Amino acid sequence: MNSLAIKLFVIRYYDYIFLFFLLVVVSFVVLYQKVLKKKKILIKLNKIIDRGPSERMGNLVLVFILVLGFLVRLYGITNPLADWHSFRQADTASVTRVYLEEGLNLLYPRYHDYSTTQSGMFNLKGYRFVEFPVYNVVHLLMVKIFPVFSLEVWGRLVSVFSALVSAYIIYLIGRKFISRWGGLFSAFFFLFIPFNIYFTRVILPEPIMVAFALLALWTFIKFSENDETLYLLGTVVFMALALLIKPYAFFYTPPIFYLAWQKYGIKKIFAQKKLLAAGLVATLPFILWRIWMQNFPEGIPFWQWTLNGDGIRFKPAFWYWLFGERITKLILGYWGLIPLAFGVMAYKKTRAFFYFLLVGMLLYMGVIATANVRHDYYQTLLIPATSLFLGVGVIEMWNLKVFNKMAVRGILIFSLLMFFLVGSFQVKEFYKINHPEIIAAGKAVDRLTPKDAVIIAAYNGDTAFLYQTRRKGWPVVDRPINELIERGVQYYVSVNLDHPQTKEFMEKFEVVERTSQYVIVKL
């Protein structure tokens, strides 16, 4: 039976498959109650669950989780860059493509969009001054060293490898502040929350930024334990890289302040010269980069809107979209809220680190309000804290003695099943290529036009179509066509054949190729 037949079978008989799976779980619970209770194997199993796995077993489970976490992210890894949030992915991938074609220049990142859409100014050199191109450098090196994969595949793999690093650090943090089981469960949730599976295999800088921020946290944990300068230096380097990629990494610093407070006391923190120097050195590259960016205003996209551009902060819609639609529905699949709530409620002083991380995430959503409401990929930063609290919640529910033990454990298992089921339904559409016509049109443009041609790939300002053409130019006609021609535009391509503008250009200029999916016009 081929893969298509299997997929059709699963789609057709999904309800029966899920029911069968549920019956297996129920049967296991009954078996646990009626049969295994009398066997010595149950005693050994309970010891492992209660005391935690041995170091060797824990390492084996961790490796299994990491390998499986890698494998599930290979789904759709070769898809064209036209899936969910492809416009933002295209802009990121385009910087790497320019580096690949024209050479690496860290201080002058460029991409394919010449229009005024991003900054309100003509950007005829295609400058792209957003994050410092750390992600793009890693991406470029992978493409050059191992050219067996395409640019897009390597872009996704960089994010996948970043997610594996993050999962390992989450395991270490969870093991330290919860238990070995807590670390394993936290890493498991990070790797298998359906939302995070998708958003850690995209061509975006967020996954690698999260990895560096978590590395900074872990090295500072080690520094707080033994006062070794090498660990403090690691914190400085990793946090500097995280801030260069995204300034949002600053919201990962509350746990660092907490650990410093615990180590030195609130009155002595600011007397620690090495801490002050570390903070300054960690933020200095970011400050210098932002100063340098001001020389290229045409390459700096509008960003003020991300804070509270539409005035939504703390209004009812803010709470509905972030805590209702995004966190509860999209990320937790409704049912994940149960173990998460237990995790948050089960406060212990030894886990105060988690609560300071949670405070940082709440501040992040409050400060970067509009962007968090408009774009779901901004919630990628929330997943480490979510995973750690889920790890706590699972353990607390499993060991809960206030209510009937089997009832609570049954609810836990069922809620986790529903968590992953509902979560998968929320994100399955993200992988789909809803407009394959832009891919066909992009290939045609690449075939029929010179490599240095400047084009208009009309797609309402979305640069995903322009990226498919492998050409530079405009993603929208934002002014009279004669003015764009004067600025070097040579071709117009559209997948909307009924658009009045497209019809006008087909009548006025030479049609190079027209199909039922697209039209290419020479201006």
Summarised one tens digit per residue, pLDDT across range 286-315 is 999 999 999 999 999 999 999 998 999 999
Helix (H) or strand (E) segment spanning residue 458: strand 454-458
> In this structure, what DSSP letter does residue 327 have?
I
Whether residue 28 is predicted with pLDDT greater than 80 in this model: the reply is no
Direct distance between the N- and C-terminal alpha carbons of the chain, in angstroms, rounded to an integer: 51
- CA distances from residue 319 to 148, 358, 363 in whole angstroms, order as listed: 46, 16, 14
**Distance in angstroms (rounded) separating the CA atoms of residues 281 and 22:** 54
Share of the chain above pLDDT 70, in %: 90
C-alpha torsion angle, residues 165, 166, 172, 174 (rounded to 10): -160
The residue written with tokens 């045409």 in the block is 298
Instruction: Read off the pTM.
Output: 0.90
Distance (Å) of CA 90 to CA 35, 228, 279, 505: 56, 42, 34, 26
Q: Which helix (H) or strand (E) holds 474?
A: strand 472-474
Please check whether residue 99 is in contact with residue 141, taking contact to mean a CB–CB distance below 8 angstroms. no
- Residue 156, SS3 per DSSP: helix
Residues 6+ apart with CB under 8 A from 161: none
H/E segment holding residue 463: helix 463-469
Secondary structure (3-state) at 510:
strand
Residue 44's pLDDT is what? 55
Alpha carbon 138 to its chain centroid, in Å, reads 17
The model's pLDDT over 195-246, given as tens digits with 9 standing for 90+, comes to 999 999 999 999 999 999 999 999 999 999 998 999 999 999 999 999 999 9
HEC per residue, 70-108: HHHCCCCCCCCCCCCCHHHHHHHHHHHHHHHHHCCCCCC
Residue among 257, 289, 286 at smallest CA distance from 270 = 257
Centroid of chain to Cα 66? 17
| Mean pLDDT, range 348-369, rounded to an integer | 96
DSSP notation for 377-390: GGGGGGHHHHHHHH
Q: Which residue has the higher pLDDT, 86 or 14?
A: 86
pLDDT (tens digit per residue) in 246-282: 999 999 999 999 999 998 888 788 778 889 999 999 9
* DSSP-derived secondary structure letter, 326: I
CB neighbour class for 11 (10 Å; exposed up to 12, middle 13-18, buried from 19): exposed
3-state secondary structure of 478: coil
Residue 163 Cα to chain centre, angstroms: 9
Q: Report CA Rg, the chain.
A: 26
Phi then psi for residue 512, to 5 deg, are: -80, -45
- Give residue 1's pLDDT band: very low, low, confident or very high (50, 70, 90): very low
The residues near 317 (Cβ < 8 Å, ≥ 6 apart) are 373
Task: Round the average pLDDT of the chain to a whole number and report it.
Answer: 91
Tokens encoding 346: 């089960």
Q: CA-to-CA distance for 271 and 363, rounded, in angstroms?
A: 26
> Cα-flanking dihedrals φ and ψ of residue 119, to 5°?
-120, -10
The neighbouring-strand residues paired with 198 are none
Between 145 and 49, the higher pLDDT residue: 145
**Contact status, residue 473 vs residue 125, Cβ threshold 8 Å:** no
* pLDDT above 80 for 38: no
CA distance linking residue 275 with residue 271, whole number of Å: 9
**Rama region for 477: left / alpha / beta (φ>0; ψ in -120 to 50; rest):** beta
Left, alpha or beta for 513 (phi > 0: left; psi -120 to 50: alpha)? beta
Q: Which two tokens stand for residue 151?
A: 């640019």
How confident is the model over 129-149, as a mean pLDDT?
95
d(CA 191, CA 73): 9
The reported pLDDT for the residue numbered 273 is 87
Strand duo 510-514 + 519-522: pairing: antiparallel
How far apart are alpha carbons 462 and 444 in whole angstroms?
Answer: 19
Sheet holding 491-494, edge to edge: 472-474, 454-458, 491-494, 519-522, 510-514
Longest dimension (CA), the chain: 86
On the question of pLDDT at 446 being above 50, the answer is yes
Rounded CA gap, 129 and 446, in Å? 27
